[in-house]
Structure 1
Amino acid sequence: MMLRRARPALAILLGSLIGACSPLTTFNRLVPKDRGGELVARDLSYGPDARQRLDVYAPQGECGAPRPVVVFFYGGSWNSGTRRGYAFVGRALAARGFVTVIPDYRLVPKVRYPAFVEDGAAAVRWATEHAGTYCGDKRSIVLMGHSAGAYIAAMLAVDQRWLGNTRAAVKGLVGLAGPYDFAPFDVEASRAAFGQVPDPADTQPVTFAGAGDPPAMLLYGATDTVVLPRNSEALAARLRAGGVAVDSRAYPKLGHVGIVLALARPFRGRAPVLDDVSTFVRRVTHGIIATSVDTGQNEP
């Protein structure tokens, strides 16, 4: 009963924190922790900058067969955010059996595009080199992100410029409410991050998506007014045109914040985001590629 009463307050808190692009450490202290997943390494360096640090979450228990690795990039308009604020994501995914890496990355205005994508690539390369230390399978990596983080994950998955040979380890892409087709830059955050690029199309995932890209799960809230659903729809269409398997799902009751909120224990009843993501990660890392799906709803 107490948890049920606390849910509205938690939702308001998280919504205000994400909306203000603030660290979510208070939320993490309030949300019940998932059993079976734990923080196993923190403040690990993948580059020389103070923002080039990451944390690792892993399933509890002894290591058996190597586990799939999820690299999660948080959002924040490319100008804010911290990995510590998304510990609830790391614990949730680790409890489902995945070694989960959550990196920080350099932010606007200190840097502009492509620095945050380059940092994402460096974090993925770190995962391929070090995941085995935590019982992770360096050959089975899924890139995942929310909002601006989904943009980073998508660029790494579809644009061959960033990962080089490491891209072969990427078995799938999970995007939550990602901006994939947002040129011209008509809001301050995108102008600040990308406005200096001579050809805006060169920054868009839809420009590069096509044949040979990893399978994708593109999830979004039907009521999202921050990153419009057409972004996911456009990327899904481009991937399908290239013969790539895409699972595209709209959750009727979720908005931009709600889709990541649904990964936290108190709010999973709103939509099966965690279940859907977990099923997708298991399938693609075991070589089971589902045919393209576009339910438009939160069906399994």
Structure 2
Amino acid sequence: MKRKLDFIFLCFIVSFLLTNCKEKKVTLGMNISFDKEENIHYGNDSDQVMDLYIPHQKSTKKRDVFIIIHGGGWHSGNKSQLTFFTLSMMQRFPDYIFANINYRNASQTQYGIPNQTEDIKSVITFLKRKLKDSPKIILMGNSAGGHLSMLYAYKFDSDKEVKAVINIVGPTDLSDPGFKTYQEYSFVEQHLVDPKILTKGTSAVHFASPVYWIENTSAPTLSYYGKTDRVISITQKTILDSALNKNNIINESYEFNGGHLDWDKSPNHTFLIDKIEAFLKRTDKK
């Protein structure tokens, strides 16, 4: 029965892509619909674009915003990787606004940070202006996107606009021996962080590790890690859990069966969405 339902949903998604990709409205059934704007520029760079989904049904209630941040080792990837998952989230959270974003990639000639964290800030600023509101933000990303979600929330969110972080297989401590086996670790060391923003005695690896910026006012965090992930070791989960608990931050973490790319496969994605829903209800009571 479960496989049948998954197949039906897959057919629905294919139908959506074929019939709605050019339309300005996304209909997800059960009276759920969103107004859609694709490839909105929130900055001057060609990579600074996002897809925005706003509930079609008007409401006097203040809406929170999910900002969805893709993975790709900080130097590749695209928001299209998370379109299906974003649609699944929209079905479960029909009263939320969703922004599925691209950001400036790191390269041999361009550092990832602070560009990428500044891009998150630019998205938030753009949304506040467009929505004529100051919504609470939920940062959600996978892999590098999970890392950037945590790093922005713990280090750069000076206005405390981030309500929660949903971290999916994101690295938390880049100095962890379990992460140093990452095949592009030298790229992380040399091209992730611009040396100009480092204070004396602070390494790029230390600066870029979200776990080092956790304090008792950090955003509540839900994490999801693969038991057989060969890219991001399960030790990253343990390190993050410990730091969050030490600072009395509301947090939950879960493990799924599979590797780095298996988090959005059935039944893992359904389990994750269930946990996100329960977690946000918990943080709302905070």
**Which position in structure 2 is the counterpart of 1:228?**
233
**Which position in structure 2 is the counterpart of 1:80?**
76
- Pair 195,205 (structure 1): closer, same or farther in 2 beyond 3 Å: same
Q: Distance in 1 between matches of 2:5 and 2:250?
A: 41
CA apart distance, 1:87 = 1.5
Q: Distance in 2 between matches of 1:173 and 1:27?
A: 31
Query: Is residue 206 from structure 1 mapped to residue 211 from structure 2 by the alignment?
Result: yes
The answer to whether the 8 Å contact 2:40/2:50 transfers is: yes
One-letter amino acid matched to 1:279: A
CA apart distance, 1:194 = 3.7
The answer to whether the 8 Å contact 1:150/1:175 transfers is: yes
One-letter amino acid matched to 1:125: T
User: What are the equivalent positions in structure 2 for 1:46-125 lying under 5 Å apart?
Assistant: 46-95=42-91, 96-97=93-94, 98-109=96-107, 111-114=110-113, 115-125=115-125
What is the alpha-carbon root mean square deviation over aligned residues?
3.0
- Pair 270,84 (structure 1): closer, same or farther in 2 beyond 3 Å: closer
One-letter amino acid matched to 2:172: Y
TM-score, normalised by the number of residues in structure 2: 0.78
CA apart distance, 1:60 = 4.2
Equivalent of 1:237, from 242, 250, 268? 242
- Pair 140,283 (structure 1): closer, same or farther in 2 beyond 3 Å: farther
Equivalent of 1:152, from 141, 148, 155? 148
Q: Distance in 2 between matches of 1:6 and 1:241?
A: 39
Q: What 5-or-longer segments of structure 1 have no aligned partner? A: 11-24, 290-300
The answer to whether the 8 Å contact 2:42/2:122 transfers is: yes
CA apart distance, 1:93 = 2.1
**Which position in structure 1 is the counterpart of 2:187?**
192
CA apart distance, 1:64 = 4.0
Q: Distance in 2 between matches of 1:28 and 1:81?
A: 22
**Which position in structure 1 is the counterpart of 2:171?**
179
One-letter amino acid matched to 1:163: D
The answer to whether the 8 Å contact 2:241/2:253 transfers is: yes
The answer to whether the 8 Å contact 1:268/1:274 transfers is: no
The answer to whether the 8 Å contact 1:176/1:219 transfers is: yes
TM-score, normalised by the number of residues in structure 1: 0.74
CA displacement 1:244-268 (0-9 Å, x = unmatched):
11111112x2332121x24xxxx24
Q: What 5-or-longer segments of structure 2 have no aligned partner? A: 19-26, 196-202
- Pair 94,43 (structure 1): closer, same or farther in 2 beyond 3 Å: same
The answer to whether the 8 Å contact 1:37/1:92 transfers is: no
CA apart distance, 1:280 = 1.9
Q: Specify the SS of the correspondent of 2:136.
A: strand
The answer to whether the 8 Å contact 2:173/2:236 transfers is: yes
The answer to whether the 8 Å contact 2:227/2:234 transfers is: yes
Q: Distance in 2 between matches of 1:37 and 1:88?
A: 15
CA apart distance, 1:86 = 1.7
Identity of aligned residues (%): 21
CA displacement 1:128-173 (0-9 Å, x = unmatched):
33345xxxx63321111111000000001111xx3332xx221111
CA displacement 1:196-244 (0-9 Å, x = unmatched):
5560211111111121101111111222222111112211211111111
**Which position in structure 1 is the counterpart of 2:158?**
164
Q: Distance in 1 between matches of 2:274 and 2:252?
A: 14
- Pair 268,39 (structure 1): closer, same or farther in 2 beyond 3 Å: farther
Q: Distance in 1 between matches of 2:16 and 2:190?
A: 34
- Pair 37,5 (structure 1): closer, same or farther in 2 beyond 3 Å: closer
One-letter amino acid matched to 2:162: V
One-letter amino acid matched to 2:241: A
The answer to whether the 8 Å contact 1:112/1:192 transfers is: no
- Pair 64,93 (structure 1): closer, same or farther in 2 beyond 3 Å: farther
Q: Distance in 2 between matches of 1:76 and 1:26?
A: 24
CA displacement 1:160-188 (0-9 Å, x = unmatched):
xx3332xx221111101111112275545
Q: Which stretch of structure 1 is more off in the superposition, 187-196 or 202-211? A: 187-196
- Pair 65,74 (structure 1): closer, same or farther in 2 beyond 3 Å: same
**Which position in structure 2 is the counterpart of 1:44?**
40
One-letter amino acid matched to 1:128: K
